[in-house]
Amino acid sequence: MPGLMLACGFLAGTIAGSFLALVAARLPLGRPVVGGRSQCDACGRVLGPLELVPLFSFIVLRGRCKGCGAVIPGSTWIMELLAGLVGLLAVMLARTPADLVWAVFGWLLLLLAALDLRHHWLPLQLTALLALSGVAALFVTRGDMLASLAGGAAGFLGLEAVRVGYRVLRGREGIGGGDPLLLGGIGLWMGWQALPFVVIVASLVGFGLIALWKLRGAEVGPATRVPLGACLAIAAIGVWMAAARAPIVPLALL
């Protein structure tokens, strides 16, 4: 029943996305992301079950709190929708049930991208979780451990060398410390063969962001902060989709 499986993948993704949106909102503020009842950030009212249904509640409530009428952040439904699409794609691209683990990869990258776009921050606990889940996924999919470990080492050490080199030559930071950890985690999931494709696509995404900023009238210069982590995360999702659909590059876990 492929239609039912696709629907389940999308539904699971929206549920995951609801939690990811919560983490993205609370983690930068130092608030706990587990435990306690969900409540409106504006009035503090505890939300009812019908107000917590991913996407559906946002549509029914017209994007506003039922109690105080405060606007619900659009980032919530966007994260739910994107995570739902990742879950849908994971089902579509899976060759075996074990391949569904790639949904976890996509969801973690969405969360990291959101945090980097909004706060220029890649928390160590999340980049570490990406790396550890990549190692764990090897045992689920029985992937190529050597390619995975080589990808983790190459991703981290390669970008860390660029980061340190830039700091030595220019006397200031040019790349955040979380970016090499992120690329290392991506390498553990995808293998060393995929890293050049990820870096190239991430560069294109970065140029696209700069072009978009210029079109909107923003000043872009040498000091402009480009969210490299978000570019890498978006690129990794795109390369995963392309490689799983038409394997132009072997992935360590496939």
For the chain (254 residues), the mean pLDDT of every run of 10, in chain order, is 88 96 92 77 76 85 81 90 97 93 97 96 97 94 93 97 93 92 97 96 95 88 88 97 78 80
Region of 104 (left: φ > 0; alpha: ψ -120 to 50; beta: rest) is alpha
Residue ranges making up the domain that contains 254: 121-254
Alpha-carbon distance 128 to 37, whole Å?
27
- 75 and 178 within one domain: no
Residue 89: phi and psi, rounded to 5, are -65, -35
Considering the domain boundaries, does residue 110 fall inside one? no
Both 87 and 128 in one domain: the answer is no
- Shared domain for 177 and 213, answered yes or no, is yes
Residue 104 lies in a domain: no
The whole-angstrom separation of Cα 180 and Cα 177 is 6
User: What values do phi and psi take at 67, rounded to 5?
Assistant: -85, -55
Residues 229 and 136 in one domain: yes
Same domain, 74 and 16: yes
Domain boundary among the residues 76, 93, 110 is at 93
For residues 192 and 245, state if they share a domain. Answer: yes
Same domain membership, residue 220 and residue 132: yes
Q: Measured between alpha carbons, how far is 40 from 115 in angstroms, rounded to an integer?
A: 21
Residues 137 and 81 in one domain: no
Q: Is residue 103 part of a domain?
A: no
Task: Give the total number of structural domains in the chain.
Answer: 2
Q: Is residue 254 part of a domain?
A: yes
Burial class for 173, CB neighbours closer than 10 Å (0-12, 13-18, 19+): exposed
Q: Show contacts of 177-180: CB within 8 Å, 24+ apart.
A: 178/116, 178/121, 178/122, 178/123, 178/124, 178/127, 178/229, 179/122, 179/228, 179/229, 179/232, 180/155, 180/156
> What's residue 1's pLDDT?
58
Same domain, yes or no, for 209 and 147? yes
Whether 85 is covered by a domain: the verdict is yes
Sign, CA dihedral 130-135-139-144, equals: positive
Q: Are residues 162 and 38 in the same domain?
A: no
Same domain, 22 and 82: yes
101 assigned to some structural domain? no
* pTM score of the predicted model: 0.93
Nearest residue to 189 via CA among 106, 79, 95, 89: 106
pLDDT attached to residue 151 = 96
Domain boundary among 77, 93, 109: 93
Quote the CA–CA distance of 190 and 151 in Å, as a whole number: 7
Looking at the fold, whether 126 and 49 belong to one and the same domain comes out as no
Distance CA 55, CA 79 (A): 10
pLDDT of residue 172: 87
Maximum distance among all Cα pairs of the chain, rounded to whole angstroms: 59
Report yes or no on 158 lying in a domain: yes
Predicted local confidence at residue 247, as pLDDT: 67
What do you get for the CA distance between the two ends of the chain, in Å? Answer: 23
Asked if 135 and 251 count as a contact pair (C-beta separation under 8 A), the reply is: no
Domain termination site, one of 74, 93, 112: 93
Residue 109 lies in a domain: no
